[in-house]
Amino acid sequence: MIPAESATLAVRVVTTGSVDTDELAAVAARAFPLACPPTTPPENIASFIDANLTAERFAEYLANPRRAVLTAALDGRIIGYAMLIRGVGDDPDVARAVDVRPAAELSKMYLLPDYHGAGVSRALMDHTLATAEDWSARCVWLGVNQANQRAQRFYAKSGFKIGGTRTFHVGARREHDYVMLRVLA
């Protein structure tokens, strides 16, 4: 939980040089397994983290103008993050599900478990959606594991609706996601 009034929560879009990518990668490595079904083998989770959530990969993400990385920090310490990507990508299942364009993908949104239920996710989501609106996106979409009901409830409360399905690889394992959409005003 967030400590009493003395704590300061800051949610912001970060840029190359404005964030410690090692710290960001460490948060990602701790938080990502929470989104995986309990049946996902640990070696597949580790493989995904090694391929996608390292400090080097975050440096690449930060340098990519088609992406925005947002952090939630409490008293200067990163406790969660989100990543937006412009567009829909080339997955045909996603292309069928996302029928409002231009669109942005909420590719990642993770929070350390000690801060679940403390309002941090809401603040991070609000800032992420505002960033998508700044990009002139008319829709934000995301993939969420079909077994991750906690995340699905949060996304539904945030105005997202299931629009389709897709498969997603975590290491060598194929997972099944819902594609959820939120049309922006």
For 166, the enclosing helix (H) or strand (E) is strand 161-170
Of 169 and 122, the one with more pLDDT = 122
| Distances in whole angstroms, Cα of residue 182 to Cα of each of 2, 142, 156 | 28, 9, 9
In a domain, 1, yes or no: no
Contacts (Cβ under 8 Å, ≥6 apart) of 99: 163
171 band by pLDDT with thresholds 50, 70 and 90? confident
How much is the average pLDDT of 153-157? 97
Residue 22 has pLDDT above 80, yes or no: yes
In a domain, 3, yes or no: no
6 band by pLDDT with thresholds 50, 70 and 90? low
For residue 160, the enclosing domain spans 9-183
How much is the average pLDDT of 87-101? 96
Which pLDDT value is given to residue 166?
97
Q: In total, how many domains does the chain have?
A: 1
pLDDT digits (tens, 9 = 90+) for 26-81: 999 999 999 888 889 999 999 999 999 999 999 999 999 999 999 999 999 999 99
Residue 96 has pLDDT above 90, yes or no: yes
Residue 1 has pLDDT above 60, yes or no: no
CATH number reported for the structural domain that contains residue 30 in this entry? 3.40.630.30
pTM of the shown model: 0.93
In a domain, 22, yes or no: yes
In a domain, 4, yes or no: no
pLDDT digits (tens, 9 = 90+) for 127-138: 999 999 999 999
In a domain, 106, yes or no: yes
Would you call 56 helix, strand, or coil by DSSP?
helix
Which pLDDT value is given to residue 78?
98
Nearest to 170 by CA among 71, 67, 48, 58: 48
